[in-house]
A and B are shown apart, each in its own frame.
Chain A
Amino acid sequence: GESVGLHLPTLSVQEGDNSIINCAYSNSASDYFIWYKQESGKGPQFIIDIRSNMDKRQGQRVTVLLNKTVKHLSLQIAATQPGDSAVYFCAENPASGATNKLIFGTGTLLAVQP
């Protein structure tokens, strides 16, 4: 069935280092992907998105890479800060019908050490 999974459930980095969070997806027809950040007790917060006709997109301190050949998505955070500590989810919009639903993975906990 459709699924979006993450390779690492927990990632611990030092403040100032770069972080890379990985995600694998199974639906090759998916054409839209989003990264969300979720802090404890809050709803998911949009970080960055990418469409399937792109392989890279940059935001402020974040970059998303999409490799459709191996169905892999990654989120790079530059100069990681303590405020980046949270659970990060990748989500895909499967190409099925007119409903804009999202399929989420289980998440990666990013822990930033001072």
Chain B
Amino acid sequence: ETGVTQSPTHLIKTRGQQVTLRCSSQSGHNTVSWYQQALGQGPQFIFQYYREEENGRGNFPPRFSGLQFPNYSSELNVNALELDDSALYLCASSPAPHRGTDTQYFGPGTRLTVL
């Protein structure tokens, strides 16, 4: 176990709705990254948060947004849900965003289904 927790485990929403996913990072880690993993694919980087600020973003539209709190926990918000947003959403924590030096440890993920 990595110590990274995510909630909820599963979620079902309908198209057009909004969703908030939550992540608690491993103790001592101040950086949180979010990934989207479609069925049968590798995880795709959404964005990263460090010291409550967005620190890099992948190729995802603005309706994907996030927050990081002073205790380093994080939220991923997705507005105007689309069917293609159905995926496993993974949170990963690491000690600091020093490129190439810090391994990312993943939580169990939240399975989002959009109907």
Contact = CB atoms under 8 A, between A and B. Distances in A.
A51 interface: yes
Contact of A102 (B40, B41, B45, B101): B45
Interface in B28-42: 31, 33, 35, 40-42
A35 to B, nearest CB: 11
Nearest to A49: B103
Contacts of B55: 98-99
Interface string B1-19: 0101000000000000000
B94 A100 contact: yes
Given A43-B90, A44-B90, A51-B100, A100 B107 contact: no
Interface of B: 2, 4, 31, 33, 35, 40-45, 48, 55-56, 58, 90, 92, 94, 97-109
10 contacts: A34-B103, A42-B108, A43-B2, A93-B99, A99-B97, A101-B33, A101-B48, A101-B58, A102-B92, A106-B41
